[in-house]
A and B are shown apart, each in its own frame.
Chain A
Amino acid sequence: MGFITQHPVLVVSLVKIAVLLFIVMTALAYLTWLERKVIAHIQSRVGPYYVGAHGLLQPLADGLKFMFKEDVTPPVSDRLVYTLAPILALSLALTAIALIPFGPPGVQLLGQPVFIVSNVDIGLLFLFSITSIGIYGVALAGWSSNSKYSLMGGLRSSAQMISYEVSLTISVVGVLLLASSLSFNDIINGPNGQAGYWLHFIPKWNVFPQIIGFLCYLTAAVAETNRIPFDLPEAETELVAGFHTEYSSFKFAMFFMAEYANMITVACLATILFLGGWLSPFPDRWTWQLYLPGAGLILLGIYCAYDTVKTMRGIAQLQFAVVTLLALGGGAICLIPVVAKDIQGVFWFTAKILAILFFYIWMRATLPRFRYDQLMSFGWKLLLPVALANLVVTALVIVWPMLVRHG
């Protein structure tokens, strides 16, 4: 007990980290489900359907399968580094998520902000430094497997990540100049405190003045997370499976989870930097927006109820009835005014993240893969100059009034 009263911040942070870890792990699992479903529907298929109603228990089944598979370590591999690589990849990906503020600092419980795990002054810089050492997971996995395909995959991926990290970082600097701060809170609220509106209805998000930066960021972010159309490190037609060819069982699952965790981080960062984070797109005077999350959940519940009665049979009907009750109950709780006020920020944040993730999945279902030389020339000859030009123009626009004033 003495330790808890002596270090309240430490204990509260640990509790928050545990809760966040649980939520993120669940989100990762259901992100794979969402991805398979969305791609399936784009390609006129059904996707996972039989494990649980609408395949809702598929992530659980996949997780169990990964855990009970044989864990093969190639005898020629470097044992220590081989084991270290997936651990590094996953733990760094999860650490990055812990830096993200999911809601406004004003929402507090017992004097502690609920939705913010760590409030670092230099949040963005810290996030970039953690994601920059995330490359080691992939590079070391490729090297330590001691196999041709893995090594090629690891090399390609480190070259790609180094190249696109430059554009990624530079595309973000424009936003930092506008906010003149490195802290997430200041970036969202803008330099003058609360962000306002242009023409009374366009929210002052950085995406409008920094549209070029936003596009550069989105492109570079896809390349950083090694996803289609930039998934050359694991191009199966050329490299079997790239850097994780030799990995099996839970170690493979860790790479898999790290990839999805990185997707979530990148989406969060895009939301914070360009899309106004937890701010609502509607003006404050529209008070009905407080009830949007509750109303949305209840509509989802009504649809689920219809589906349960109409199409579900047997055990699936029971499972979907549970989903229906969860949605309706959650919706009802969200309609309570106090709750509705507190979850506003998280609701908009989640909605924006989901929109970006949907965009990524959509892209994966639509675009073919780049060739390696195309990838490199695109990154260095197009993306980097555009990001640099954006930075220079932004800096000039900010400095121009000062130059004029001082003659």
Chain B
Amino acid sequence: MSVPVVIFFVCALLAIVGAVRLILAREPIHSALSLILVMLSLAVLYLLLGAPFIAAVQILVYAGAIMVLFVFVIMLLNAGTEERTDFSKLAKYVGVPLGFFLLLEIGHWLAHSPAGAVVANGAGASGRAADTAKLSEQLFRQYLFPFEATSILILIAILGALVLARKEE
């Protein structure tokens, strides 16, 4: 096995372990840490796909900014351990089988469609490594409107949070 393949399997395994721990951990901080592990593994996978800019932004924005705030809030509220109740019946009998079905579907698609083959071989392998200048060209020329619309959406969400959090006089 070549080095990138080994790195891929290690990171994929770490991402899955992290995701499972995220759901199963009782301590909120442990859940947050597992989520960070998932994000970091994904960043390495982006690097393998030949997208260093996306990888760096993934770490910078998600692991470095958003999750720091999560951890900060958990610390500030000193949130206690989670209390477990029984699984809901709906999740147990409908959700879990549907989840497995989705997994199978994605696997089937990856194995059989041409687009799936590109993803599975890695965009970097096909020599289409995305460089930062091209990415920004696309983002700020062709997709300028969706980009700005998304940022306004986020701004509205922040304003909404401010209004909700404000104490009544």
Contact = CB atoms under 8 A, between A and B. Distances in A.
A binds B: yes
Interface string B34-75: 001000100000000000110011011001110011011011
Contact of A155 (B3, B36, B75, B131): B75
A129 B60 contact: yes
Given A126-B56, A130-B59, A136-B36, A154 B64 contact: no
A78 B28 CA distance: 12
B59 A158 contact: no
A405 interface: no
Interface residues of B, number: 26
Contacts, number: 76
B137 interface: no
A122 B132 CA distance: 8
A128 B59 CA distance: 9
A142 B132 contact: no
B122 to A, nearest CB: 18
Contacts of A120: 52
B71 A158 contact: yes
Nearest to B76: A155
From A130, A132, A154, name the one whose CB has the most chain B CB atoms within 10 angstroms. A132
Interface string A131-166: 011011001101110000001001100110010000
Given A78-B29, A81-B29, A139 B60 contact: no
A121 interface: yes
B27 interface: yes
A143 B68 contact: no
Interface string A65-101: 0000000000000100100000000000000000000
A132 B75 contact: no
Nearest to B33: A81
A142 B69 contact: no
A132 B71 CA distance: 13
A139 B75 contact: yes
A122 B53 contact: yes
Contacts of A182: 132
B75 A78 contact: no
A125 interface: yes
A362 B103 CA distance: 59
Contacts of B65: 132, 162
A10 interface: yes
A229 B33 CA distance: 31
A194 to B, nearest CB: 22
B76 A125 contact: no
Given A136-B71, A143-B75, A121 B3 contact: no
7 contacts: A121-B132, A122-B132, A125-B53, A126-B52, A128-B60, A132-B63, A144-B29
